[in-house]
Amino acid sequence: MTDVTIIGTGNMGAAIGTRVLAAARRLQLLDREAERARELAARLGGDILAGPVGQEPEGDIVVLAVPFDAAKDLVASYGRALSGKIVVDISNPVDFSTFDSLAVPPDTSAAETIAGLAAEGATVVKAFNTTFAATLAVGEVAGQRLDVFVAGDSEEAKTAMAELVTAAELRPIDAGPLRRARELEGFQFLLMTLQANPALEDFNWNTALKILAPS
């Protein structure tokens, strides 16, 4: 059984934490404000470790539930403490000053950038970036399990993620190598702009990207 550390206690950190507990995995929550981590642990319930950023991540899987710039800072500051761990980048590097483009060049991605900063032995995968917090916490939309796209260069890491996602009552989809994060980030940027479109106000950040196949 894989333990999970989530760094960041915002909406996505809370939603992923909910799914981790649904998967019956041990959970550690870390935040720059330790009290926020403790408050979320109390809200989620269960035997959850909580502490400040800088504390040793105990999980085999470490989820960076923070924005892109903060994720870069975290992998740099944790350094070799992430070696041997699966590091999950969930970020979408949107240029929020314009909400009209991504903040990374088209020939790379947030995940690849983070992988380049991570210590040797840390394995970066992209996952959970195409899910919104409200629907992820519930685990479904319109009676359909959420799809979680996982991109990475390590088959072993993707298998571990698929096992976690399945146990969390979600559907994992192998999206290919880490460079496929470019497309995942671009597509989620489109979904985000649709949520913000006044003509589509019924979406209200409660939609999901779902792959359907003939039965």
CATH code of the domain containing 66: 3.40.50.720
Bridge partners of 63, per DSSP, are 6, 88
As a whole number, the mean pLDDT across the chain is 93
- The residue range of the domain holding 108 is 4-200
CB under 8 Å to 177, separation ≥6 — which residues?
151, 152, 153
What value does the mean pLDDT take over residues 188-206? 80
Q: Is 8 left (phi over 0), alpha (psi -120 to 50) or beta?
A: left
Instruction: State the CB neighbour count (10 A cutoff) for residue 26.
Output: 18
Number of folded domains in the chain? Answer: 1
Per residue in 29-49, pLDDT (tens digit) is 999 999 999 999 999 998 899
| Structure token pair of residue 199 | 């003509």
How large a percentage of the chain has pLDDT more than 90?
Answer: 77
Cα(127)–Cα(119) distance, integer angstroms: 19
* Angle, alpha carbons 145-2-135 (nearest 5°): 25
Report pTM. 0.94
* Residue 214 placed within a domain: no
* Residue 49 placed within a domain: yes
Instruction: State the CB neighbour count (10 A cutoff) for residue 42.
Output: 11
